[in-house]
Amino acid sequence: MSPKPVKSAEFNIRLLGSDELSLDSANDHFLAAMEPAKELQAESNFELIKVSFADNKNQILGHLAQQGVLLLRDFPLENTRMAEELLKELDIKFDNEYLAGASPRSKISENFFTSTEAPDPLIISFHTEMCYLRQRPEKVFFYCQQAPQRYGETPVFDCAAAFSGLSEELQTKIERLGMMYQRYFGAKKVRDNVYKTWMDAFNASSREEVAKACAIQRMTFEWQKDGGLLTRSKTPGVMTHPTTGDKCLNMTLYNSHAAPYDMVHFRKRYKLFQRFALSRLVKYHYTKERVFMRTLWGDGTEISKDETQQIIDAAWRSATLFKWQEGDLLLIDNIRCGHGRLNVEGTRSISAAMSESYKAV
């Protein structure tokens, strides 16, 4: 469903122009931008913006519920504190713990983290936030402190379109089996920052604290001889959106096929040797038993190369890639809309925050 342009005395909601989109964007009608009317921008008064924003709360939340994503552009947001203040006008209740989260992150303010500290050349592919856990954030927010120098887009995915783009056979399999996520947490920090320690991941200092957190998330766990932790969690691969009733793909893919195939989609961004080396590195990691995350079918069987590629193809066909501008604030409904991160060249500073969680199962 394409968002309908809206104009009011205070705010406009419009489709992004072609100059605001990446050349690699497949879906140009999913993401809309909301901007203050010229008269409100001219006031340059943040307190007035907040009042007007609160007055339009129902319109904003209604759009987010129907469409799944909204980009706030040209708001006078100078830092994450101001972004937090604006979001509180929507009665957002932040969840800033990020317990058992997979992405390497550091806290930078009361409710915002670095969006990810994963290595710049890697593509973080389609996912809904914390889809590998029973409890997931209802909404996710991204604030742009510094626009990427080159590439570094945050793709947003229409999860309903992605699911409907799969074959009927694969749709049925995802609904029937669900997903299983097997994760390994080390006992010591290592150079590769995708491998989080169990202490960092669970904000815990004892095994007893970890056991309690795993029980809440209904994860099984095994302590390893090296002091590390292996967990498994079974979750749905599809969620029905509570407002629209759409079946939405809610998952992430980690196996030896996924990341190399993502890089094939964006091969013009890489030198041939770099792409070859990164693909080999990923495949090498998946020869290890204790890789940081492995996505399996809910019965524990492997997801095939063909199935992996079909899911990735459907996701990228549903994706909108936009160009970040400093001060942008992106609002995401974490059932209706997935996200990712493209490879980065040069500087980039994007922060992330999450709202209170819901139970997927």
Q: What pLDDT is recorded for position 28?
A: 85
CB atoms within 10 A of CB 306: 10
Residues 128 and 250 sit within 8 Å (Cβ to Cβ): yes
Residues 226 and 214 sit within 8 Å (Cβ to Cβ): no
Q: What span, in angstroms and rounded, lies between the C-alpha atoms of 342 and 125?
A: 8
Between 284 and 192, where is the model more confident?
Answer: 284
Q: What pLDDT is recorded for position 247?
A: 98
Q: What pLDDT is recorded for position 198?
A: 93
- Sole residue written with tokens 């995350």: 293
Report whether pLDDT(238) > 90: yes
Report whether pLDDT(171) > 80: yes
Handedness of CA 96, 101, 105, 106 (dihedral sign): positive
pTM: 0.93
Phi, psi values for residue 84, rounded to 5°: -60, -45
Report whether pLDDT(98) > 70: no
pLDDT digits (tens, 9 = 90+) for 255-273: 999 999 999 999 999 999 9
Percentage helix, strand, coil for the chain under 3-state DSSP, each rounded to 5 = 30, 25, 45
Q: What span, in angstroms and rounded, lies between the C-alpha atoms of 69 and 55?
A: 20
Residues 255 and 286 sit within 8 Å (Cβ to Cβ): yes
| CA separation, residue 91 to residues 156, 242, 322 (Å) | 24, 19, 27
Which of 100-104, 142-146, 222-226 is the least confident region? 100-104
pLDDT digits (tens, 9 = 90+) for 85-97: 999 999 999 987 7
Rg (CA), the chain: 20
Q: What span, in angstroms and rounded, lies between the C-alpha atoms of 29 and 269?
A: 24
Report whether pLDDT(56) > 70: yes
Bridge partner list, 331: 70, 141
Structure tokens at 120: 């710049």
Largest CA distance in the chain: 65
Mean pLDDT over all residues of the chain? Answer: 92
Bridge partner list, 332: 69, 140
Q: What pLDDT is recorded for position 114?
A: 87
Q: What pLDDT is recorded for position 116?
A: 82
Report whether pLDDT(7) > 60: no
